[in-house]
Amino acid sequence: MTTIVDYRMGNLRSVKNALSRLGAEFTVTSDPELILAADRVILPGVGNAAEAMDNIRSEGLAEVIRSLRRPVLGICIGMQILCRHSEEGDTDCLGVFDTDVRRFEASADLKVPHMGWNGIGNLDSKLFKGVNGGSFVYFVHSYRPELCCDTVATCNYGGLFSAALKYENFYGTQFHPEKSGDTGEAILRNFLSL
Amino acid sequence: MVAKRIIPCLDVKDGKTVKGVNFIGLQDVGDPVELGARYASEGADELVYLDISATFEGRSTFTSLVERISDRINIPFTVGGGISSLSAASDLLDAGADKISVNSAAIADPTLIDSLASRYGSQFVVLAIDAKLSPDGRWLATTHGGRVLTERELFSWAHEGQERGAGEILLTSMEHDGVRKGYPCALFSEFCSSLHIPVIASGGAGSTDDIAAVLTEGRADAALAASIFHYGTCTIGEVKKELAARGIKVRL
């Protein structure tokens, strides 16, 4: 059973629908017991890192998430809060991934948010089994994790950043696999078979 | 770099997809969910669903249709039409919409943009502007599907929207919408260069040439079109292959 963590950070429905389309069983909860007992945990999220961390702490989930030893997938904000720190709201995060989250510098040639389909490369994880380098996935974000030793996919938008991270049983994608068509479904299927 | 996006727009009235010339003379062109799924499988990068009956007739937005779309479609979609409150936006987000677009309601109360962006994030908020050339030669924002000309000058309104937290602008030239004679590229070029958020160009696509022009000369980040796809002038796949052949980065 896969558990989707509900910490009041929007658009759970997209993730639920994506799992339903793949025929996966799942529950949606903020109950620490159920999260600790799950085979797999997905930490979705759209919105603001500071608010996300506030919600994680007020639900008493910070230590719960850090202590998980089964596969965990953070998506977008769900990935950013697994990093050390986010520039958004000067927010201390969970510190699983060894990197910081910084804002893109907007310019006439670099629109922010980074919105739309971009290619991912340097793929180096079972998450990307069967996915070719250069495949397009859907991004929508104004902050991005920097490259680090946990980087398992890169994307170029005014320079390379971490499109995906992995540390032990923790995975994270800056893009939205649940919105990335067939490529996204392949990535989610890979996560579900870890 | 990020690919240029091709976005079919589905205008929905009473649960059916319609598209008219200059918003008048609507024709039924199909079930919104089925048509959206077909476009997604043909390579659409996103979908936009506009409830065009909402502002005219005061109808509330179409939450149950949005749920059906979200169940079925595995690419992002934007929903708009008559959204005038945080609670309406929240219902649509819960129903599965990735973004909402605001238009008339934001002109009536610009702080709606701030509230939506601070609550749900800029990525959720698309400011749609239907612009018309005024008799004295200025581009002005309109409301109510282009029927009411406001005093808001296009560029300053777009900048205000950006500062208030909109994550994207959807600009439609009401002079060009639905007539399939091309987008106003000079206007788009100046407009897109002046903003640091992405711009979706809308209104006037009649051919792949038109779309290529607005994505290059017009500097738009995405092109939205309805008629050419609904009426089968060309498929999304054909358009994207042709754009790629001209060196424009698209997702194939």
User: pLDDT means per 10 residues in chain B (252 residues)?
Assistant: 94 75 51 88 94 56 85 95 89 91 95 93 94 92 89 97 97 81 92 96 90 97 88 87 97 94
B33, B65, B72, B98: which to substitute to probe chain A, counting the most A Cβ within 10 Å? B98
ipTM for the predicted complex comes to 0.91
- Predicted local confidence at residue B25, as pLDDT: 47
Query: End-to-end CA distance of chain A, in Å?
Result: 13
Q: Which option is the CATH number for A2-192: 3.40.50.880, 3.40.630.10, 3.30.2290.10, 3.40.190.10?
A: 3.40.50.880
Q: Could you tell me which residues come within 8 angstroms of residue B183 by beta carbon, excluding any fewer than 6 positions away?
A: B173, B176, B201, B203, B204, B205, B210, B213, B214, B218, B220, B223
- Predicted local confidence at residue B226, as pLDDT: 83
Query: Which residue in the list A76, A83, A93, A155 is annotated as catalytic?
Result: A76
Size of interface A-B (CB pairs under 8 A): 100
Q: What is the pTM of this model?
A: 0.93
C-alpha–C-alpha distance, residues A164 and A152, integer Å = 5
Closest CA to A146 of A161, A157, A164, A158: A161
- Predicted local confidence at residue A73, as pLDDT: 98
Question: Is B122 an interface residue toward A (CB < 8 Å)?
Answer: yes
Tell me the chain A residues in contact with residue B4 when contact means C-beta distances shorter than 8 Å. Answer: 116
**A114 pLDDT above the threshold of 90:** yes
List the single residue in B76, B195, B221 with the smallest CB-CB distance to A179. B76
Give one word for B32, left, alpha or beta, with left for phi > 0 and alpha for psi -120 to 50. Answer: alpha
Domain ranges, ordered by start, for chain A: 2-192
- Predicted local confidence at residue B13, as pLDDT: 80
Q: Could you confirm whether domain B5-245 is CATH 3.40.50.300?
A: no
Tell me the chain A residues in contact with residue B222 when contact means C-beta distances shorter than 8 Å. Answer: 116
